[in-house]
Amino acid sequence: MQHDINITGKDEGQAPLTCVVDIDTSAAPPTEQFDLYRSWNANLGDVTLLREKFSAFSARQQVWQLGSLALMSLDYRGTGYRRRWTNKKDPVFDHWILSVPLTVSDNGDLTTPGQLHWHCLAAPYEAEGEDDGALALLLPRDFAFSQPFDLAIRPEMAAMIVDYLQLLHRSLPNRMDRDAEHVAVATTTLLAACLAPSRDHIVEAEGPINGVIMARAKKLISAQLARRDLSPEKLCRDLNISRSRLYRIFEASGGISNYIRRQRLLRTRDILSDDKDTRSISLIAEEWGFMDPSTYSRTFRREFGMTPKEARETGWLRTNEAPRLSAAHFAGGPPWSSLLASGDTANRS
């Protein structure tokens, strides 16, 4: 897959996509931090504490404008509050909001999603939660596929939207300003397919749907990478998709088998560059499914330009800079979908 590696984009008049809002409570005295947080979205609704205030309320809110859509990220991990959200009785806005509560995962990231909430700001709505943050997508009320205030969403479609919103949020640091409209179109086509399923809507949303499937596949692969029974067939069963679709989604990555093999090579590369791990190269290779040392050495050299022994002796120069991704990838299909999963181990080379 080709990436646009022009980071600044100054020569072509390009600029990174930046937050239109990026605020936090750190400037306020601790006892006033919750009130400051509460004021941020006072024109949308009211937040009430259901327990006595703590001594501080550390929170951050970011908002990205994506055409007529807006994606909002809230992070208030560690506050320990139970809160109630209530829509305003006399609403100023009548937008739809899709929100996903988030909690801190075992690795400390704010990535574990809760149940999708879907409501209109113009209708009565109240919800309680004790999460660590949230993602919320705001959409204009006049979307063609959003008719009643109590729009029902099938569970599997809700799960698709939740996964997509997380992928979209993770991809934004790699977006350019010119990408915003493309992202908005991709997002609305996916929502149309999930909220008002039809053959035409699903066909139009093939790109973003494949993006979610690819991310789910990569998550499964990462969790099962050391298992000997990890195979395309097993992934198809776990993802409930056809073999042809799985191969089509990973075509831009050189195929699903090639992707799995490269992830295993990356794991061995990282272990070899760790001077605290003194196991033999053959034992490390075998742990990750490479049973023949000669084949492993040739495959490793073909992938990284050095032998496993050289990688262990010299270490590995890592780069922390993610590639910039061009708007062309939002045209649909696997190249677009792989962008949403940017930042995973597939891009570490």
DSSP string, 263-298: HHHHHHHHHHT-TT----HHHHHHHTT---HHHHHH
Whether 298 is covered by a domain: the verdict is yes
Q: Is 76 helix (H, G, I), strand (E, B) or coil?
A: coil
Whether 157 is covered by a domain: the verdict is yes
338 DSSP assignment: H
User: What integer pLDDT is reported at residue 349 of this predicted model?
Assistant: 40
Do 225 and 184 share a structural domain? no
Residue 111 — pLDDT band, cuts 50, 70, 90?
confident
Do 272 and 126 share a structural domain? no
- Give the lowest-confidence range in 247-251, 273-277, 292-296, 324-328: 324-328
150 pLDDT exceeds 70? no
Q: Is 75 helix (H, G, I), strand (E, B) or coil?
A: strand
Domain that holds residue 81: 10-213
Do 195 and 306 share a structural domain? no
For residues 266 and 13, the model is more confident at 266
Contacting residues for 162 by C-beta, under 8 A, at least 6 apart: 100, 113, 116
Q: What is the mean pLDDT of residues 124-149?
A: 79
Q: End of a domain among 213, 229, 259?
A: 213
User: What integer pLDDT is reported at residue 260 of this predicted model?
Assistant: 94
293 pLDDT exceeds 80? yes
Do 277 and 186 share a structural domain? no
Whether 208 is covered by a domain: the verdict is yes
Domain tally, the chain? 2
342 pLDDT exceeds 50? no
Q: What is the mean pLDDT of residues 290-298?
A: 93
Do 71 and 209 share a structural domain? yes
Do 336 and 223 share a structural domain? yes
Q: End of a domain among 176, 197, 213?
A: 213
How confident is the model over 26-85, as pLDDT tens digits?
Answer: 999 988 998 899 899 888 888 888 776 677 888 999 999 998 899 999 998 876 678 888
Do 285 and 184 share a structural domain? no
Q: What is the mean pLDDT of residues 184-197?
A: 86
Q: What CATH number has the domain bearing residue 303?
A: 1.10.10.60
Do 86 and 196 share a structural domain? yes
Residue 157 — pLDDT band, cuts 50, 70, 90?
confident
Sign of the dihedral through C-alpha 9, 13, 17, 21? positive
Q: What is the dihedral of CA 156, 137, 203, 17, to 10 degrees?
A: -130
Q: End of a domain among 178, 213, 248?
A: 213
Whether 5 is covered by a domain: the verdict is no
327 pLDDT exceeds 60? no
Do 276 and 236 share a structural domain? yes
Q: Which H or E run contains 335?
A: helix 334-340
CB-based burial of residue 23 (10 Å sphere; 0-12 exposed, 13-18 middle, 19+ buried)? middle
Whether 89 is covered by a domain: the verdict is yes
Do 134 and 35 share a structural domain? yes
Do 161 and 111 share a structural domain? yes
Whether 3 is covered by a domain: the verdict is no
For residues 80 and 113, the model is more confident at 113
Whether 43 is covered by a domain: the verdict is yes
User: What integer pLDDT is reported at residue 151 of this predicted model?
Assistant: 63
Do 243 and 158 share a structural domain? no
Whether 19 is covered by a domain: the verdict is yes
